[in-house]
Amino acid sequence: MLIRKPADLRYSDVTPKELYLNRRRFLAAGSAALGALALPPTSNAASLSFSKSSYTVDEKLTPKDDVTHYNNYYEFGTGKEEPARYANTLITSPWTVEFGGMVNKPQKLDITSIIKIAPLEERIYRHRCVEAWSMVIPWIGLPLSAVLKQVDPKPGAKYVAFQTLHDPKQMPRGKYAGIDLPYVEGLRLDEAMHPLAILAVGLYGESLPNQNGAPIRLVTPWKYGFKGIKSIVKITLTDKEPPCTWNITNAREYGFYSNVNPQVDHPRWTQASERRIGELFKRKTLPFNGYADQVAGLYSGMDLRKFY
């Protein structure tokens, strides 16, 4: 078996969409035999009570099957289809998130307590991956700002650091991930407090499937998808810019901010266009993934080529 070293592996080293589609057509005939490797039974996906949000886009949804079977979750494999096959080993209940650092009210909250902080909303967001593919996903979640206000950030707090679960027993394929684990991410505090930033607990009217980051994950739709850290167990307020997994792995290709910017290409391919999953033709990439009116002010005066 060829094992990739961290220096050799990149976020983009996954199955290209064209090969993925061909492979799925080939496997379709044998889907019954592969059933044991697919999603957990749908009875495990609890329905959620939520309202429609004004923060949404009026666009055609990406089919649920693609959203739940075309994923990046390296703890469960580096291939796009692998997380849906192997993430059934993830135990999502009980689950707590630890809040600490520069806060006045450090605490541990279980998922039930978190979703009671603010009403759950369905938000249809564009999702843009650095690999130049995109989706439109109906997330269900609550504003990250509401949760942060619950723990009362101290005046000196400037950043929010996130950490995902790292349990080799539940995630044995993580030893082949080629990145340091646990996965970590970060935002500036003003980004985290923006109303578009949410903690998602569901999609398509049900709780999150494991491969999509159950039971709670970050969604920041104006940033590339790898910023959306999955299966969060720790949120820390700090006055220093926190480490981020892909920035640590390859700072030349992955910056701290990671805002969707068609004018700043990845070193190995253009970001000026994207292919929406399920569509044949490419479309132009929009600045901030189409959310410029809402978030561009966060970066006023910044050189977005330097702070990519």
Amino acid letter, 279 = E
CA separation for the pair 186, 288 (Å, rounded)? 17
CB distance 242 to 181 below 8 Å: no
Q: SS3 for 240-266, per residue?
A: CCCCCHHHHHCCCCCCCCCECCCCCCE
Mean pLDDT within 259-276: 92
Query: How many C-beta neighbours within 10 Å does residue 302 have?
Result: 11
Q: How far is the C-alpha of 184 from the C-alpha of 168, rounded, in Å? A: 16
Scanning 116-156, the segments in alpha helix (DSSP H) are 144-151
> What tens digit of pLDDT does each residue of 214-264 get?
999 999 999 999 999 999 999 999 999 999 999 999 998 999 999 999 999
- Going by C-alpha positions, the residue among 143, 122, 149, 238 that lies closest to residue 187 is 238
Please report, for the chain, the start and end positions of each structural domain, with discontinuous segments joined by +.
17-299
Give Cα 209 to chain centroid, integer Å.
Answer: 13
Could you tell me the fold of the domain covering 17-299?
Sulfite Oxidase; Chain A, domain 2 (3.90.420)
Per-residue pLDDT at 2? 38
Structure tokens at 33: 């035999």
Measured CA angle at 82 (ends 81, 88), to 5 deg: 120
Give the pLDDT confidence score for residue 157 in this predicted structure. 98
For residue range 159-175, list pLDDT tens digits in order: 999 999 999 999 999 99
Query: What CA–CA distance (Å, rounded) separates 67 from 65?
Result: 6
Decide if pLDDT at 13 tops 70: no
Least confident segment among 206-215, 216-225, 267-276:
267-276
Taking the C-alpha atoms of residue 4 and residue 10, their distance in angstroms, rounded to an integer, is 10
Over range 91-112, report the average pLDDT: 97
176 pLDDT higher than 60: yes
Q: Are 189 and 160 in contact (CB under 8 A)?
A: yes
CB atoms within 10 A of CB 57: 14
Confidence at residue 21, expressed as pLDDT on a 0 to 100 scale: 45
Judge contact between 78 and 86, C-beta under 8 A.
Answer: no
Q: Mean pLDDT across the stretch 14-35?
A: 39
Interior angle at CA 213, CA 86 and CA 15, nearest 5? 55
